[in-house]
Amino acid sequence: MTRSRAIFLSLATVAVTGVSDAIQSGQTARAFATTAEAAGPDVTARDVQISNQKIRMAHAALITMWGGDFRAIGLRFAPPDLVPYLTGVRSACGIMRQSNALYCPRDNTIYFDEVFVASQAKKAAGDLGTDGDMAAVGIVAHEMGHAVAMQLGHVFRNSYENESTADCLAGAFAQHSSKDGSLEDGDIDEAFYAMSAAGDPIPEPTGDSRMDSWILARLARRAHGTREQRMDNFKRGLDGGAGACLAEFRAVK
């Protein structure tokens, strides 16, 4: 190949890449605008960037913590991947929808709607006068709690049992962070704020007993706990550490 043709091909590649990047950037901007509108008009790209940075840091700290605790009981923790998304994403557990975060055990991955999570941090910041970051970090800590419990074989038929364990393990992470000095002023308040805000709704009776029973049964299948229960479960881990959540960790200091 002549030198001039090599230069031409190189320039052509750069040009095509630039067009592709521009198309991708436009698609991302439109997706962000759609998701941000659903989450709230005040969420900006900068908010998402800051939130994602904090979440990546927390993800690394969670892996370090749980890796150490698993080693202490003679086991190996398989660190879940972390995948942010806009509007939705396909996973081994199906489509991850907007305004959600979920641990998928089939591919050992935590998926989270990055605009939704950033909006939780921004709401906490506005109401508490803090930076709100623990409201976002707590979501990932909760999903990591599912990974921890499932890898130890704790999978319950009752949705609330699974969710209360994950809330407790998120509290254990907060305790660990407090001990190693990585918590900031206001972080615990932010965590409790997020737990309270994420409590299950209490449905109003319809007056139709069959319909009311159906609604309650449907809620029970995906129950996370009332605001009081979620705060209590988080506090159990915050006060007692991982051993207060799962028997396997009771001997771990």
The predicted-structure confidence for 41-60, as pLDDT tens digits, reads as follows 489 999 999 999 999 999 99
The predicted-structure confidence for 137-179, as pLDDT tens digits, reads as follows 999 999 999 999 999 999 988 888 999 999 999 999 999 999 9
pLDDT of residue 208: 67
> For residue 241, is it left (φ>0), alpha (ψ between -120 and 50) or beta?
left
Residue 183, CA atoms < 13 Å, CB-side half-sphere: 21
H or E segment at 101?
Answer: strand 101-104
- The whole model's pTM is what? 0.79
Using alpha carbons, select from 122, 93, 118 the residue that is nearest to residue 108: 93
Burial class (CB in 10 A: 0-12, 13-18, 19+), 31: middle
The residue ranges of the chain whose pLDDT is under 70 are: 1-41, 199-206, 208-223, 253
pLDDT of residue 118: 96
pLDDT of residue 222: 56
pLDDT of residue 14: 27
pLDDT of residue 212: 52
pLDDT of residue 197: 86
Q: What's the rounded Cα separation, in Å, for the pair 170 and 188?
A: 11
